[in-house]
Structure 1
Amino acid sequence: MPHIIVEYTDNIKNEVNIDVLLEKLHHVLISRPSIFPIGGIRSRAIELNQYRIADGAEDDAFVHVTLKIGNGRSGVDKKATCEEMFAVLKSHFSHLLEKRYLALSLELYEFAFPTYKYGNIHGRFKS
C-alpha cells in the first residue's frame, strides 16, 4: 500500500499521456517516504471502453483516480496528499478541459482492517 488506480474513458486515450500522469501521481507519494513507504507504492491505469456519461448525447469523458491506503495516517497528511494529487490531475488535463467535456474525480479509500501482503520489495528501500 498505497495503490493509485486511474480509470479513464477510451475516448481520450489519443489526447493525453496516461503513462506521464501515472508518473506524476506516483511521484506525489514518493515525495512523502515517511508517510508512504516507497516499496509499497503501486500505480496502474485501466482504460474503460464500456461506459455511459450523463445523457449520452455528447462525447463526454471522465478520469477517476482512487487512492487506496492502509489506515493510520493523519487527517492532515491525507488531505495534503489528496489535494496535491488532484492538483496534478487538473493540471495534466487542463488542455483537454478547454476543448471537450471531461469530468475529473479523486477518491481516497482507507482500509479499515489490515490487508494481507507479502513480498520483498520493501527490503530494497530499508537502510
Structure 2
Amino acid sequence: MAHFVLEYSDNIEKADLALQELFTQLHQAADETGLFPLKGIRSRAYACHDYRMADGNPEHMFVHLEVKLGAGRTMGEREAAAKSFFEVLTQHFAGSFEQRGVAMSFEMKELEPVLKYNKNNIQDYL
C-alpha cells in the first residue's frame, strides 16, 4: 500500500498542475522501489479553495504530498522511498519555483494495521 494524497492551492494552472503526469511519475517511482504491490498504489488530489499564505499574496502557491504506507517496511526502505517521491514532486513543480512563491511539503506516514479492511480485484485487470 502506497497512497499518495496531494493537497494544493487552487491557484495553480491545470497545465502546471498536470496531475495525471505527476501521478504516473509517483506510481512509477513507487513500483521501482520494489516495496509496493502495483495493485495497492493509489493517488488522489484535493484543491484547497480557502487558504491564506504568508503575506496574503494571491500568486503564492502550495502543494503538500502525504504518502500513506501499510506497515512492514524498514526505516531505511521508507527513507529511500520518501527521497524518491520527494524528488518526483520537486522536479514536477521545478518550473513553478522559477516563476512564483511556492511552499512545498511532504510527509510519509506508516499506518497501523489495526482494524484495516481491504477488498480489491485490481490484480485481475492488470
How far does the alpha carbon of each residue in 1:33-75 deviate from its partner, in whole angstroms, 9 at most, with x for none? 3x11111111111122121212313521100001001111011
Match of 1:64 in 2: 64
Q: How do residues 46-85 of structure 1 correspond to structure 2 at under 5 angstroms?
A: 46-85=46-85
Match of 1:12 in 2: 12
Q: Answer whether contact 1:15 1:96 (CA < 8 A) is retained.
A: no
Specify the code of the residue in structure 2 equivalent to 1:97: F
Distance 1:62 1:89 in 2: 12
**SS of 2:99 mapped into structure 1:** coil
Q: In percent, how many aligned pairs have the same letter?
A: 36
Q: Number of residue pairs matched? A: 124
Match of 1:95 in 2: 95
How far does the alpha carbon of each residue in 1:73-96 deviate from its partner, in whole angstroms, 9 at most, with x for none? 011110011101111111111111
Distance 2:11 2:71 in 1: 35
**SS of 1:31 mapped into structure 2:** helix
Q: Would you identify which runs of 4 or more consecutive aligned residues in structure 1 move more than 6 Å?
A: none
TM-score for both structures, normalised by structure 1: 0.88
Match of 1:121 in 2: 122
Cα offset, 1:15, TM superposition: 4.6
Match of 1:22 in 2: 23
Distance 1:124 1:37 in 2: 14
**SS of 2:53 mapped into structure 1:** coil
TM-score for both structures, normalised by structure 2: 0.88
**SS of 1:46 mapped into structure 2:** strand
Looking at secondary structure, tell me which structure has more helix per residue. 2
Gaps of 5+ in 1: none
Please report the RMSD computed on the Cα atoms of aligned residues, expressed in angstroms. Answer: 1.7
